[in-house]
Structure 1
């Protein structure tokens, strides 16, 4: 009996141990299963959150791509509206332009199977429901509860606006269909709005810059046109001062050409008479040598033959003189394309300038031209001629009682200097300081525009010519022009 009791007691202990072990294993299994469940739940939550974050990042990246593109403001807002509607899983979306209190629907999103009347009815409802105006622009998205029996699936209205001007704003309105609005969506939308505002400001600033550039280009074009007119006017003013002299220089050769032609006409008559009488004598067989010599002497035929050559040479010289003056005037008044520089022989420019001004110089002034053959430069011959004519005219006017006009040169390793010197009245320091100031002149009213030297200075600057002026009262003035040589000269 004692052995049986002991065996039963041992079995009971074993059963108790096994029961406890089973209960412990069940608890461990239950905890393990719970842990697995919780882990799976967390993984699913993390996966959903990661997918959501990926969706949000893609949405913001798409917004950023549109903003950085070169699309117009309208295209940008329409594309942004489409991206926001897709992100919020909204069937609808509206882009509204407000100007001076007037609202205009500039874009909308609607389901493919939705007729236009339904989308328009929703727009009318939300337009009257929301206070869409330029005064109600917020820096964030606005949230409004929306309940309407015609649109039971819409529970919220999300709206935001961006100002363009004081009287102009652009609104985006997106209906939301879910019962609960996740706050995290609003943070993402606020980020998108900030990006949109940045993109809009960039486009507005670019438009302003383009407008200012266009105005600036128009202003530059107007200034360039005015400058050309000013240069041309000064040319005509200089030419007007020299007009009488130029006319005299042209009339002189024309006068002796006319006289020579009249003489040639008379010589032609004598030659015709000589030819006719010789012919008659030959016909009558009386044309002996005595008759021939007598007729030649009577009509001065030998003298006529000698003088005809001189008359023709004189006419050719006169025509060449007129051609030179006309060529000089043509170069002076039509200097070619101002912006195109060509190879220019400065000696020829100065010679042509002297020919135009010669009648004003030759009677009361001594010309001392000591220039040798100078290297060619790149420049505009008409403009350079205008400069030298202006310097010569000013020098003459500075010597009312006569004097000497000298043109000398200095040679440097990389340049040459042309000095134009007069022995006139000279200038004091005050006049020298304002010498190139536009409209400044010491001449009486009506005798000078005050533009000649300022325009000449601008021309020389464009030719990269350094200008130096030395003057002493009652002794004279020297203008020194330093022309740089081309590297290949």
Structure 2
């Protein structure tokens, strides 16, 4: 027996189904015939007409009473009419009228309560504000996590930079202790001479004590020892202070006028152990005015680009840091003598999680976060990279931020 495929019959919703759906709508739906007799009205239409018109639908509210002026004639002539109807208080209805004569003349009226629209708009704005707060909090956490990740990667180098001065300060303290014993012994010799009936007779003993304890060497070495120790402690203090400033949360920081050169020096102080063994650092600082910014965030930008420059260099190379001032903007340029960035990768270097480094060497977030920080400062990052010639990143920033940006923080 042959089997024929026939298309499934199209199932049209019943009138009861349509009325059931219309009953759930917030918008009022009314259907009038050509003689302005009400054929159907959903629950929302009954409510809106009862709130806004002197007569309600059950008492025979006609289409002429429902619409203003020539609205009915225009709907009949053009097939549609739309307008706003204002009532007492804050009641405003957006009304659309559609006319059709295919199966007898009918008018379809759609009513929308703008108070409900405003409520939904306010709810949407509230949710949008909540999302913005949550997004800002997430961005802050990401920024702080990247800071801490950077510090974690630099931890060994920072510890080495701290251990070096601590080491020779500790050694100097041992020498100082020996010097103090010698000086106390010399003081005791002088005290014995003062107590002697003939102090002059004690001069040879004092001279022997001075020679035995090498007091002349101690008098020359002691100031140098103290100077070295003070410099070592100051070095450790600078590193700790710079780490504290760098790791500061955005919530703890406000927009302020700062010296970008101080930020560059602070950043170089933290990462110097990562660069000093294979790079020659060239600094060409111009004259910069104080720049309005979030300092620790900009320092993170400097750190990310400087570390990338150091990692791009092989066994030995050069990093050049330049600054300049051009009208209402300043710029900081960091260039390296590495192999350069392939053209196909240059368009993606600011994409989140994109990295050309081996697995475990980078998160792919450094340049993305840097791009966002600079954009937040109403600046830009220009990139110029050529294979075999190295890469150059120029950070351009306004000297002053728009007032609205500062007030928003």
- Give TM-score scaled by structure 1 length: 0.60
CA contact (8 A) 2:144 2:249 kept: no
Q: Is the 8 A contact 1:416 1:485 kept in 2?
A: yes
Q: Return the offset for 1:459.
A: 0.9
Of 80, 93, 96 in structure 2, the residue corresponding to residue 198 of structure 1 is 93
Uncovered stretches (5+) of structure 2, i.e. residues with no partner: 1-21, 32-40, 52-58, 69-84, 95-111, 402-409
- Corresponding residue of 2:140: 228
Deviates more, 1:458-467 or 1:331-340: 331-340
Could you tell me how far 1:206 is from its partner in structure 2? 2.1
The verdict on how the C-alpha distance between 1:471 and 1:184 changes in structure 2, with shifts beyond 3 A counting, is: closer
Secondary structure of 1:198's counterpart equals strand
1:476 aligns with 2:390: yes
Residues 197, 306 of structure 1: CA spacing in aligned structure 2 closer, same or farther, 3 A cutoff?
Answer: closer
Unaligned runs of 5+ in 1: 1-132, 141-159, 174-182
| Count of residue correspondences | 326
Per the TM alignment, residue 322 of structure 1 is displaced from its structure 2 partner at its CA by: 1.0
Q: Supply the distance in 1 between the matched residues of 2:24 and 2:306 (Cα, whole angstroms).
A: 70
Distance 2:44 2:195 in 1: 114
Secondary structure at the residue paired with 2:113?
A: helix
Cα shift readout 1:327-363 (whole Å, capped 9, x = no counterpart): 2111111165477321110111111111111111112
Instruction: Give the structure 1 partner of residue 181 of structure 2.
Output: 269
Could you tell me how far apart the structure 2 residues matched to 1:465 and 1:186 are?
63
1:301 matches 2:301: no
1:446 equivalent in structure 2: 360
Take 1:372 and 1:352, find their aligned partners in 2: how far apart are those partners? 17
Confirm whether residue 372 of structure 1 aligns to residue 267 of structure 2.
no
Deviations 1:180-234 (A, max 9, x none): xxx8887898679995683982222222122212211111111111111111111
Give, in angstroms, the shift of residue 237 of structure 1: 1.9
Richer in helix (by share): 1
Q: CA RMSD in A?
A: 3.4
Whole-Å separation in 1 of the counterparts to 2:279 and 2:86: 80
Aligned-partner SS, 2:292: strand
Summarize deviations over 1:430-463 as a string: whole Å, max 9, x none.
1111011111001112211111001101111122
Task: Confirm or deny: 8 A CA contact 2:158 2:273 kept in the other structure.
Answer: yes
Structure 2 distance, partners of 1:255, 1:208, is 67
Distance 1:291 1:234, change over 3 A: same
Other-structure match for 1:333: 247
Change (3 A) 1:469 1:172: closer
Give the corresponding residue for 1:464: 378
Structure 1 stretch 230-239 or stretch 254-263: which is displaced more? 230-239
Instruction: Provide the rounded CA distance (Å) in 1 between the counterparts of 2:239 and 2:60.
Output: 88
- Corresponding position of 1:256: 168
Are the counterparts in 1 of residues 169 and 228 from structure 2 also a CA contact under 8 Å?
yes
SS in 1 for 2:226: helix
Choose from 220, 229, 233 the match for 1:319: 233
Matches within 5 A, 1:7-156: 139=30
2:332 and 2:173 map into 1 onto residues whose CA distance is 43
Judged with a 3 Å threshold, the aligned counterparts in structure 2 of structure 1 residues 413 and 219 are, in CA distance, closer, same or farther, namely closer
Aligned to 1:209: 121
- The DSSP-based 3-state class of the residue aligned with 1:481 is strand
Alignment partners' CA distance in 2, 1:370 and 1:253: 28
Q: Does 1:163 align with 2:75?
A: no
The separation in 1 between residues aligned to 2:206 and 2:336, in whole angstroms, is 63
Change in 2 beyond 3 A, CA 1:274/1:358: same
Deviation digits for residues 412-435 of structure 1 (CA, Å, limit 9, x no counterpart)? 344343221101111111111101
How far apart are the structure 2 equivalents of 1:172 and 1:485?
61
Q: Please list, as runs of the form range in 1=range in 2, the aligned pairs for 1:276-295 lying within 5 A after superposition.
A: 276-285=188-197, 287=199, 288-295=202-209
CA gap 1:324/1:172 in 2 versus in 1, 3 angstroms: same
Q: Work out which of the two has the higher radius of gyration on C-alpha atoms and give 1 or 2.
A: 1
Corresponding residue for 2:150?
238
Q: After TM superposition, what 4+ stretches of structure 1 lie above 4 angstroms from structure 2?
A: 133-140, 168-173, 183-197, 335-339
In 2 relative to 1, CA 249–203 (structure 1 residues): closer, same or farther, beyond 3 Å? same
8 Å CA contact 2:383–2:394 kept in 1: the answer is yes
